[in-house]
Amino acid sequence: MSDSQRRACRWFSLLFCAAAIGIGAVAALALSTPGGLTNKVRCVDLHCQVVRETVDLLPQAVRAKVEATPGLRAGLETNLAQARTRAVLTAIELVRCLPLAALFALVAMAMRRLGASGADGYAKAMPWLRRAALAAVVAALAVPVADTLRATVLVDAIDRGRGVYVMFNASQFVGDLLLAAAAWASIWALAAGSRARRDIAEIV
């Protein structure tokens, strides 16, 4: 690998490291403030303002019912204001964010290994890339799990005893999972190629 390629790898490592830290920081910041989950920035004609959109957290099917019923909306707001609910929602958001942060951190480690001087950078980067592919699969699985948990908690606040509210976006889930599987397959092929190259290098 040339010096410029190593330098590019080191830059990518920093970029992914910053992305991992950024995800963690944004999640922590958003979740530590009371309106962190529900406040959104809306811009119309270059005029932006922070608006509280509690109902955006709800599943589409329940949202219309809550928007039409002021009592339900007030109940939801009251529920969200409780520290216990916020703590549960924080934990649920962490289920969604942590695998993604781990994915970026692991890719950063792999890039760092590739960018380091010395021979066999590929061999050293491969285990990190394999872990990153596993994190990508976990991240894909975490999205419907987190969505379902959040919907269950929020819907329970307005419709007691409803039980588990399954939220599953099949197209998004299949897309994410296929991307993760493609990454896994690519890394497996790279590892096999790297192993074959090492074997050939030992034949004189």
Partner 1 sequence: MPVIVNLDLMLARRKVRSIELAKAIGITESNLSLLKSGKVKGMRFSTLAAICRYLECEPGDILGYESSDADLNTSDDHA
For partner 1, the closer of residues 68 and 200 by Cβ is: 200
Give the span between the Cα atoms of 125 and 148, in whole angstroms.
35
Site map (CB under 8 A) of partner 1, residues 137-176, x = contact? ----------------------------------------
> What is the CA 73 to chain-centroid distance, rounded?
28
Total residues at interface with partner 1 (CB under 8 A)? 6
SS3 85: helix
Residues 105, 99: Cα–Cα separation, whole Å: 10
Mutual angle of helices 170-201 and 121-158, in 10-degree steps: 170
Most distant pair of Cα atoms in the chain: their distance: 80
Residue 87 or 189: which CB sits closer to partner 1?
Answer: 189
By the rule CB under 8 A, 203 interacts with partner 1: yes
Min dist CB 26 to partner 1, Å, is: 41
Query: Quick check: 202 binds partner 1 (CB under 8 A)?
Result: yes
- Is residue 45 a contact point for partner 1 (CB under 8 A)? no
Fill in the per-residue mask, 176 to 195: x = in contact with partner 1 (CB under 8 A), - = not in contact: ----------------x--x
Minimum CB separation of residue 202 from partner 1 in Å reads 4
- β-bridge pairing 39-44 and 47-52: antiparallel
Cβ 59 to partner 1 shortest distance, Å: 47
Residue given tokens 């074959």 in the structure block: 196
The pair of three-digit structure tokens given for residue 20, joined into one six-digit string: 């991992």
Q: Which residues bind partner 1 (CB under 8 A)?
A: 192, 195, 199, 202-204
